[in-house]
Chain A
């Protein structure tokens, strides 16, 4: 149990579907992150929220839409994805920003067909 819970753990969706990934952190942190992890690639930062405000959008295509209703919850809305978007999507959180460790959830495995 990492304190960061992601659902669903596995998702298969068609290219015309709309789905959402959910993340909840129970650590009292104020910053939350979405990362993408593809095979044989470093972790790619997608979005960062600090106190519910988006502070980083790492040139992510608009078919990925984040939502952060409060400091404990983070969503990633998915729409008209491509097969190359298939990857492990990791949510993470940290207390503050500078010099604080990021704690990851178990990830959501996404397959786009």
Chain B
């Protein structure tokens, strides 16, 4: 069936390094993608989104890359800080549905 998944359950990085969190999706009709950050004890927080007519979008210290050919999405965090430690979820929506499908999440651990 259609699914959204994350390659790695946990990613450990040193403070100051760049982090890359990956996400694979299988629904070729997906046209809208969202990254969320969930800190311990809090709800998911919107980080950045991208539509399928784009392959890259940048925010503050974050970049989302979309490769529709291989159905792959990534979130790059520049100069990772301890405050970036959280679980990161990708979600996707297709034009035929208004409900996003969420992946399991990747836990990012930033070591000082």
Q: Which residues of A contact B (CB under 8 A)?
A: 2, 4, 6, 31, 40-43, 45, 48, 56, 90, 92, 97-107
User: Shortest CB–CB separation between residue A54 and chain B, in angstroms?
Assistant: 13
Q: Are B44 and A98 in contact (CB under 8 A)?
A: no
Q: Are B46 and A106 in contact (CB under 8 A)?
A: no
Across the interface, which residues of B come within 8 angstroms of A6, CB to CB? 43
User: Shortest CB–CB separation between residue A33 and chain B, in angstroms?
Assistant: 8
Can you list 27 A-B contacts with CB-CB less than 8 angstroms, sorted by A residue number?
A: A2-B43, A2-B45, A6-B43, A41-B104, A42-B102, A42-B103, A42-B104, A42-B105, A43-B44, A43-B89, A45-B99, A48-B99, A56-B99, A97-B98, A98-B98, A99-B32, A99-B51, A99-B95, A101-B46, A101-B49, A102-B34, A104-B36, A104-B45, A105-B43, A106-B41, A106-B42, A107-B42
Query: When A and B form their complex, which 8 residue pairs have the shortest distance between CB atoms, in order from nearest?
Result: A97-B98, A104-B43, A43-B102, A106-B43, A104-B44, A107-B43, A42-B102, A99-B32
0/1 interface trace, chain B 71-93, chain A, CB 8 Å (1 if under): 00000000000000000010001
CB contact between B34 and one of A40, A42, A101 (< 8 Å): that residue: A101
Q: Are A99 and B93 in contact (CB under 8 A)?
A: yes
0/1 interface trace, chain B 6-21, chain A, CB 8 Å (1 if under): 0000000000000000
Among B31, B36, B51, B99, chain A packs the most CB atoms within 10 A around the CB of B99
For the A-B complex, the count of residue pairs with Cβ-Cβ distances under 8 Å equals 47
Q: In terms of DSSP, what is the predominant structure of the interface of chain A?
A: loop
Q: Which residues of B contact A (CB under 8 A)?
A: 31-32, 34, 36, 41-46, 49, 51, 89, 93, 95, 98-100, 102-105
In the assembled complex, the Cα of A9 lies from the Cα of B51 at a distance in Å of 34
In the assembled complex, the Cα of A98 lies from the Cα of B45 at a distance in Å of 19
In the assembled complex, the Cα of A63 lies from the Cα of B89 at a distance in Å of 29
In the assembled complex, the Cα of A106 lies from the Cα of B45 at a distance in Å of 9
In the assembled complex, the Cα of A5 lies from the Cα of B80 at a distance in Å of 29
Beyond the given A99-B95, A104-B36, A104-B44, please list 7 additional residue pairs across the A-B interface where CB-CB is below 8 A.
Answer: A2-B45, A42-B105, A48-B99, A99-B93, A100-B98, A102-B34, A105-B43
User: Shortest CB–CB separation between residue A10 and chain B, in angstroms?
Assistant: 10
